[in-house]
């Protein structure tokens, strides 16, 4: 029985979504829960998994089309099975029997012949891939066998990840590979990871070299028995050649037509359609970018903005709500003709763009002693994120000196028992995590996020902890940190830090943070003024903990000097929503907790 793939409800206020990318072609075999397409809404980009195993019988909405929630996007069923009738009159995939009958009983009309010669004929070819073919054309259609080569593809390392870079090949062509054995290392803007082989065999071919960046789903290599034929990727199953309309009988056009057979005439025109403008065909890439989400299009219309002027940060370059709001806030949305209107909105003077002046970095003069190397993907993304954060948030930093003697005494007394009981070190950080948790509960604005004109106070406390690596910086996240005990925080932090250095973190473990802590004090730094980790609004910097002389007053009023374990704590916060007084109270609460709390393992 055929099953419909429908546009899912991605949120309470979401009423429609856009088909961003089909990950499968008509005729492909689909496993249950295997991603079949990517969709985009005004809130999120996501993959849609298949609810059942079977064959992709029909694609009802092409890439770039926006449809309502609940609309059928595709049909999955047994090979040769007819899909359920579309409620809006859309076509369904004919069964092989009906196609054969149509081919015998109907003479193709000039119109249907002309439609079969459209540049989108490859869609029809894929649609009826199950149709019986002439003997001389069967060899043109791949017939994967059990001993066929298996493609190794760039994995989806997170919902917002669209591409990855091959960092290092761990195997060479000809090497024998065990199932689940690491083949290569990849790098994205979120995480570095190893890619294991899904099957055992030999590494037959490497398609992407080290340092190359490719989209998610791209074939990186082939693994299989020696001499095995490769299984074509979804992209390779659809011919890219576009027939020349001026040469309808050219060999390039006849090849797919021959594969289609006589039943091509029975394909309804709705299957062949591709969105286009009055000026000609528009590429899928253009559609993804210009259509964006309904919310973004409405904002653009309201402000008279041409979306193509904005560099999108979403999937396939799509413009997100954050992109267009930032574009408007900078004053760049004002067009030259708007500046002449008396009723035109006036951008703040400090944000007024100076298009006439183009600033360029000073040229670098190279010498024989210089060493030049390419930025890694992680380093480039860190640079982009830090620059974006400085442009987004109004950074202000407050610094407190906190007496850590109370913590140091408890730690020294219990660290041996802790190591014996839990098998890991008891550092100063779990105590600081506890202090942050209690301070956030008193001052939740530092655990908030900005969404347009709204302040979102996060219900969970997910603490990000910056971990320095030899090749960059990564911020794994302790989820629901306020629910963990001192020992739980220590175990979680040490585990995440260890796996970060071994490139063993999953994308979920480096996302979803609500507040970040960085600790340059381990290198001896007194304090720093870190950059906020967007979309968060605050980050805490912990300086080195060291013995210093401090002046105290006795109950009798006499001053004396004592040696104490002291550290500077610097809170950098987004002054758009966090006031200086609130930041000071947050640090004061931390100081009170760390200096006086009674800790327990």
The residues annotated with a catalytic role in the active site are 575, 579
Closest CA to 570 of 592, 601, 546, 538: 538
- The beta strand positions in 429-483, using DSSP E, are 448-451, 454-457, 463-465, 467-469, 472-474, 477-478
Identify the bridge partners of residue 552 per DSSP, sorted by sequence position. Answer: 560
Rg (the chain; Cα; Å): 30
Phi, psi of 158 (to 5 degrees): 160, 155
Phi, psi of 200 (to 5 degrees): -90, 150
Between CA 351 and CA 330 the distance in angstroms is 5
Q: In terms of residues, how long is the chain? A: 601
Between CA 481 and CA 463 the distance in angstroms is 6
Closest CA to 401 of 531, 550, 516, 517: 550
Burial of 491 per CB tally in 10 Å (0-12, 13-18, 19+): middle
DSSP 3-state of 102: helix
Phi, psi of 20 (to 5 degrees): -85, -45
In angstroms, the first-to-last Cα distance of the chain is 58
Closest CA to 328 of 338, 317, 341: 338
C-alpha pair distances (Å), 136 with each of 140, 258, 452 = 8, 9, 61
Tokens matching residue 459: 């219900």
Q: Would you say 253 and 117 are in contact if contact means Cβ atoms under 8 Å apart?
A: yes
The 8-class DSSP code of residue 366 comes to P
DSSP 3-state of 318: coil
Q: Would you say 293 and 171 are in contact if contact means Cβ atoms under 8 Å apart?
A: no
Q: Which helix (H) or strand (E) is 384 found in, with range?
A: helix 377-392
Describe the chain by its helix, strand, coil percentages, rounded to 5: 30, 25, 45
Cβ atoms within 10 Å, residue 161: 18
Q: Which helix (H) or strand (E) is 24 found in, with range?
A: none
Phi, psi of 279 (to 5 degrees): -95, 5
Q: Would you say 4 and 92 are in contact if contact means Cβ atoms under 8 Å apart?
A: no
Q: Would you say 190 and 157 are in contact if contact means Cβ atoms under 8 Å apart?
A: yes
DSSP 3-state of 359: coil
Cβ atoms within 10 Å, residue 178: 11
Tokens matching residue 105: 């009983």
Q: Would you say 542 and 518 are in contact if contact means Cβ atoms under 8 Å apart?
A: yes
Between CA 26 and CA 55 the distance in angstroms is 8
Between CA 397 and CA 575 the distance in angstroms is 9
């Amino acid at each position: 029985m055929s099953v419909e793939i429908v546009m899912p409800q991605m949120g309470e206020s979401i009423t429609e979504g856009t088909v961003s990318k089909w990950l499968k072609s008509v005729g492909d075999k689909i496993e249950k829960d295997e991603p079949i397409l990517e969709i985009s809404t005004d809130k999120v980009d996501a993959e849609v998994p298949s609810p059942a195993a079977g064959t992709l019988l029909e694609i009802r909405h092409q890439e770039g089309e926006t449809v309502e929630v609940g609309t059928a996007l595709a049909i999955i069923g047994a090979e040769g099975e007819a899909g359920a009738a579309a409620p809006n009159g859309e076509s369904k995939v004919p069964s092989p029997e009906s196609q054969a009958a149509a081919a015998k009983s109907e003479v193709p009309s000039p119109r249907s012949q002309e439609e079969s010669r459209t540049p989108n004929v490859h869609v029809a070819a894929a649609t009826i891939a199950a149709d019986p073919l002439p003997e001389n054309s069967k060899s043109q259609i791949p017939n994967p066998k059990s001993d066929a080569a298996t493609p190794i593809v760039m994995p989806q390392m997170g919902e917002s990840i669209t591409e990855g870079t091959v960092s290092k090949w761990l195997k060479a062509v000809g090497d024998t590979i065990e199932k689940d054995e690491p083949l290569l290392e990849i790098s994205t803007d979120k995480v570095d990871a190893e890619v294991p082989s899904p099957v055992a065999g030999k590494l037959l071919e490497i398609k992407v070299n080290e340092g190359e960046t490719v989209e998610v789903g791209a074939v990186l290599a082939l693994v299989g028995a020696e001499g095995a034929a490769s299984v074509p990727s979804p992209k390779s199953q659809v011919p890219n050649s576009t027939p020349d309309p001026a040469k309808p009988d050219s060999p390039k056009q006849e090849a797919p037509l021959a594969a289609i057979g006589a039943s091509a005439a029975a394909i309804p025109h709705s299957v062949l359609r591709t969105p286009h403008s009055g000026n000609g065909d528009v590429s899928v890439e253009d559609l993804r970018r210009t259509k964006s989400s309904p919310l973004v299009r409405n904002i653009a219309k309201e402000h008279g903005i041409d979306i193509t002027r904005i560099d999108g940060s979403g999937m396939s370059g799509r413009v997100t709500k954050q992109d267009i709001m930032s574009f408007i806030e900078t004053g760049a949305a004002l067009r030259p003709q708007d500046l002449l209107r008396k009723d035109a909105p006036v951008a703040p003077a400090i944000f007024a763009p100076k298009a006439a002046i183009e600033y360029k970095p000073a040229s670098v003069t190279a010498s024989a002693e210089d060493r030049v190397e390419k930025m890694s993907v992680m380093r480039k993304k860190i640079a982009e994120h830090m620059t974006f954060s400085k442009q987004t948030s109004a950074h202000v930093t407050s610094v407190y000196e906190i007496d850590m003697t109370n913590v140091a005494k408890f730690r020294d007394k219990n660290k041996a028992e802790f190591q014996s009981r839990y098998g890991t070190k008891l550092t100063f950080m779990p105590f600081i995590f506890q202090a942050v948790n209690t301070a956030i509960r008193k001052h939740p604005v530092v655990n908030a996020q900005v969404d347009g004109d709204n302040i979102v106070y996060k219900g969970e406390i997910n603490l990000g902890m910056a971990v320095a690596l030899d090749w960059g910086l990564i911020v794994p996240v302790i989820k629901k940190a306020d629910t963990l005990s001192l020992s739980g925080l220590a175990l979680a932090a040490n585990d995440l830090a260890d796996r970060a250095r071994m490139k063993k973190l999953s994308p979920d473990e480096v996302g979803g943070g609500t507040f970040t802590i960085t600790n340059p004090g381990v290198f001896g730094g007194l304090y720093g003024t870190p950059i906020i980790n967007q979309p968060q609004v605050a980050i805490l910097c912990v300086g080195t903990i060291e013995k210093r002389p401090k002046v105290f007053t006795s109950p009798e009023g006499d001053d004396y000097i004592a040696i104490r374990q002291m550290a500077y704590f610097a809170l950098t916060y987004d002054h758009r929503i966090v006031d200086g007084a609130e930041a000071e109270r947050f640090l004061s609460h931390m100081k009170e907790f760390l200096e006086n709390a009674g800790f327990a393992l």
